[in-house]
Amino acid sequence: MKTINIGVAGLGTVGSGVAEIFCQGKHFDIPIRLAKAAEADSARRQSVKLDKSVLINDARQLIDDPVIDIVVELIGGCGIAKEIVLGALKNGKAVVTANKALLAKHGEEIFSAVKKYDGDIYYEASVAGGIPIIKIFREGLIANKINSIFGIVNGTCNYILTKMKEDGANFSEALTGAQKEGYAEKDPTLDIEGFDSAHKLVILSSLALGAWINPKDVYTEGISRLTHSDIIYASELGYVIKLLAIYKNNKEGVEVRVHPTLLPENHVLSSVNGVFNAIFVKGDNVGDQLFYGRGAGKLPTASAVVADILDVARNLSSGTRRRLPVINTGSKNAKVVPIEKVVNKCYLRFTTLDRPGVLAKIAGILGRNRISIESVIQKGKKETEPVHIVIMTHVAVEKDIRKAIGLIDKMPEVKAKTMMMRVEE
Amino acid sequence: MKTINIGVAGLGTVGSGVAEIFCQGKHFDIPIRLAKAAEADSARRQSVKLDKSVLINDARQLIDDPVIDIVVELIGGCGIAKEIVLGALKNGKAVVTANKALLAKHGEEIFSAVKKYDGDIYYEASVAGGIPIIKIFREGLIANKINSIFGIVNGTCNYILTKMKEDGANFSEALTGAQKEGYAEKDPTLDIEGFDSAHKLVILSSLALGAWINPKDVYTEGISRLTHSDIIYASELGYVIKLLAIYKNNKEGVEVRVHPTLLPENHVLSSVNGVFNAIFVKGDNVGDQLFYGRGAGKLPTASAVVADILDVARNLSSGTRRRLPVINTGSKNAKVVPIEKVVNKCYLRFTTLDRPGVLAKIAGILGRNRISIESVIQKGKKETEPVHIVIMTHVAVEKDIRKAIGLIDKMPEVKAKTMMMRVEE
């Protein structure tokens, strides 16, 4: 059996993990060889345990190297990474990538290229690190219409939310802690504002639907506005707050949204803590399933990359191209329900002066906008300082909720922007 | 692309589920057709929604039918099912089966036949119903050495244990309830004595190890001796009792055992309730993963069967035989650690007369057998009736534990056989 030659582009965290797994001496049933590893940073080149003859500076060389069968793109971002992926496909090489941002932002171009060049692309490590969720969606659950996905797919946010709940930390304290632990970047925007989760949701939802979801259609809200009070009030109401990537396939179309979400305490996702990821899926035949594991980190992510390499190597060994269908990025694009039409129970936290009649005024505005109240928490009395009124609504249309909040926030007694979070059961 | 013709043997629960999925009109990217469905029971033949021209009486006809590409064995048991599987392989047909008992008991013969005839066998539905755990082991986690598996793989037992905990039911009440709900057979032996879990553990462990585990080497203990008192004492100690299928790969060899197990309340498996299954895996690269879903039922199990059919159909369409390696059943058999050498913390419940010095005598025997005590529960005083003494030990060798229990059970003050359960953290 011909040895399949691998070219790894990028020896950062994941790339060095892949190199490490290749050095573990594991026996694979298909002969594969790490033939070339490209890294522009000389310190990284020196610290990796690979034979020096394997190392090159410029990842672009992998594209044209006739020895390389599979190009493994682990550079990240949408610059040279995109060039490498498209160039490799054009030159008839199979591609493995861990790059969710690239796939989400340029999926149409990349998946079209896969079809055009009759190529193959595997991207297990792009979502939820070591959890083989892409394989599960593409193969394991193929006999199902996926009705919904609830994903905790960003370890940074889940770590911050866990710390806020367990240690009583405020958002900024928890973020600083996450940065110290190496779980959050210096510039944490991509994670904490939900964009990273949205990239992953684009990939999962497109696989679930079998049609491309435009990342612009994913409603995205992060966790940076959350306060420790919200965690406490949610807990008093019997809920836990998680940043969820949500997909629902309804009669009206699909919902794709990322936002902090109140989940009942006994929901299986509520006990997913720390940097762990978990994806909760409802299939029409299979019912509820949960897949849980480390969503990031050197070796867990590299484990997914190497599984992809083996998959592609099997295809190449047996002369199969494109064993699995490519996501349809053509005309059959998804019909996405706009956020204004989404229907949810809501958590509302108002910051108001403690004056008689304020609750009645708020309740009145909600009622006139077809929003009925399930429960209310009103705490303490502070004559001079504003207090919190927390309301859990029954299900209501987002457009109505927004209109009501707009009106309430204009009340003279209301002293801060109202906090609204959606609830899933 | 040539249509792949499927022959289903058996239209019981799973078979009729497969027929139902074929009637749902789902679009698959590989053309497949349910060409023949064999069922000896005429009532079942009549109740299924398939076209009458598809139905035949005798599953043996599928083996020789030149039209059939994939034989799907859903008869169960080790009689005609074995004949069908071996016959199909011999005649060059690919096989999909959900039959854990057949694979566990006759795995050596079946996997040898797969190799001999260069055939293909898929068996996703044999373990944990709709959870794609076989695919995850064979492909998704391939870059890992699997260090351990903890599986809740029998929904009947998990339902009974959940009812005993939640409703305070005794074992026999919970069993009767499970039978009424259709979650337990009239003769529940296979489930409640742990044999079904052991069959599934043979399959998972053999995949994890890459060498065949002889089912005779799986230490197997069921849940029928458990009392409601044990559930309560475990809870007081901070534990939940689950029937676990356990695999550990240590220096000394592999441990393969099925028994009721005390798990810490905050373990991710402790909240898996009712008929749900879950498999907790530790891989050397990927760390901890959990896979959770319905382990039985018509459509969840059929979902796994249809995923297998698609997998095999892809192989046939691309002219690939044996894309994945077959479990090695040859000389490279597993070295299994005998249960006497296994080391565990233990829960011990003694039933003794409430006389002075009894605890001292028991503690003395434990001490002389190198077993040290972590905690003790001794409840109430009943001068005439026996009482319970519950001891949680530190880690100890099973052989020592057994010897000590043997001596203690001979004490005149001890009035019933001591209950021993192993603890995992």
Same domain membership, residue A290 and residue A141: yes
User: What is the domain count for chain B?
Assistant: 3
CB contact under 8 A, B139 and A268: no
Same domain membership, residue B288 and residue B145: yes
Same domain membership, residue B287 and residue B303: no
A119, B119, B135 from A315: Cα distances, Å: 11, 18, 16
Question: Is residue A325, in this structure, part of any structural domain at all?
Answer: no
Min Cα separation A391/chain B (Å): 30
Question: Is residue A323, in this structure, part of any structural domain at all?
Answer: no
Same domain membership, residue A283 and residue A149: yes
Take residue B222 and report the two structure tokens written for it.
């069921």
- Of the residues B228, B263, B294, the one at which a domain ends: B294
Task: Spell out the residues 6+ positions from residue B354 whose beta carbon is closer than 8 angstroms to its own.
Answer: B381, B382, B383, B386, B387
Nearest-5° angle of CA B402, CA B407, CA B411?
Answer: 140
B290 touches chain A (CB under 8 A): yes
Same domain membership, residue A282 and residue A215: yes
Active centre residues of B (catalytic): 200
Nearest-CA residue of chain B relative to A297?
A: B286
Q: Measured between alpha carbons, how far is B226 from B86 in angstroms, rounded to an integer?
A: 40
Residue listed under structure tokens 């064979």: B138
CB contact under 8 A, A291 and B287: no
**B333-357 pLDDT, tens digit each:** 678 999 999 999 999 999 999 888 9
Which residues on A lie below 8 Å from B26 (Cβ)? 143, 145
Same domain membership, residue A102 and residue A76: yes
Active centre residues of A (catalytic): 200
Same domain membership, residue A154 and residue A107: no
Same domain membership, residue B113 and residue B9: yes
Q: Measured between alpha carbons, how far is A31 from A28 in angstroms, rounded to an integer?
A: 7
In eight-state DSSP terms, residue A52 is: G
- Of the residues A260, A294, A328, the one at which a domain ends: A294
Q: By C-alpha distance, which of A45, A94, A31, A38 is closest to A61?
A: A38
Q: By C-alpha distance, which of A381, A378, A375, A371 is closest to A408?
A: A371
Task: Spell out the residues 6+ positions from residue B140 whose beta carbon is closer than 8 angstroms to its own.
Answer: A124, A132, A135, A136, A304, A307
Nearest-CA residue of chain A relative to B305?
A: A143
Q: What is the CATH number of the domain that holds A395?
A: 3.30.70.260
CB contact under 8 A, B141 and A303: yes
Question: Is residue A356, in this structure, part of any structural domain at all?
Answer: yes
Take residue B92 and report the two structure tokens written for it.
């060059």
Which of B135, B141, B268 is the closest to A139 by Cβ? Answer: B135
Q: Measured between alpha carbons, how far is A285 from A397 in angstroms, rounded to an integer?
A: 29
Q: What is the CATH number of the domain that holds A20?
A: 3.40.50.720
Same domain membership, residue A159 and residue A16: no
Which residues on B lie below 8 Å from A325 (Cβ)? 29
Min Cα separation B140/chain A (Å): 5
Crossing angle of the two packed helices A100-116 and A195-209, in degrees rounded to 10: 30
- Of the residues B262, B294, B326, the one at which a domain ends: B294
Same domain membership, residue B262 and residue B159: yes
Q: Measured between alpha carbons, how far is B94 from B32 in angstroms, rounded to an integer?
A: 14
Q: What is the pLDDT of residue A1?
A: 79
CB contact under 8 A, B139 and A143: no
Same domain membership, residue B121 and residue B82: yes
B143 touches chain A (CB under 8 A): yes
CB contact under 8 A, B283 and A130: yes
Same domain membership, residue B141 and residue B283: yes
Write out the residue range of the structural domain in which residue A76 sits.
Answer: 4-129+298-317
Determine how many CB atoms are found less than 10 A away from the CB of residue A191.
Answer: 24
Using the predicted structure, report yes or no on whether residue B331 has a pLDDT greater than 90: no
Q: What is the CATH number of the domain that holds A232?
A: 3.30.360.10
Min Cα separation A230/chain B (Å): 24
Take residue A416 and report the two structure tokens written for it.
């801060």
**What pLDDT tens digit does each residue of chain A (425 aa) get?**
799 999 999 999 999 999 999 999 999 999 999 999 999 999 999 999 899 999 999 999 999 999 999 999 999 999 999 999 999 999 999 999 999 999 999 999 999 999 999 999 999 999 999 999 999 999 999 999 999 999 999 999 999 999 999 999 999 999 999 999 999 999 999 999 999 999 999 999 999 999 999 999 999 999 999 999 999 999 999 999 999 999 999 999 999 999 999 999 989 999 999 999 999 999 999 999 999 999 999 999 999 999 999 999 999 998 888 899 998 887 566 789 999 999 999 999 999 998 889 999 999 999 999 999 999 998 767 677 899 999 999 999 999 999 999 999 999 999 999 999 999 99
Task: Spell out the residues 6+ positions from residue B201 whose beta carbon is closer than 8 angstroms to its own.
Answer: B149, B151, B153, B213, B218, B245, B246, B247, B256, B258
Nearest-CA residue of chain B relative to A293?
A: B289
Which residues on B lie below 8 Å from A21 (Cβ)? 143, 285
**CB within 8 Å of chain B, chain A residues 65-124:** 124
Cβ(A152)–Cβ(A272) under 8 Å?
Answer: yes
Nearest-CA residue of chain A relative to B26?
A: A143
Cβ(B258)–Cβ(B244) under 8 Å?
Answer: yes
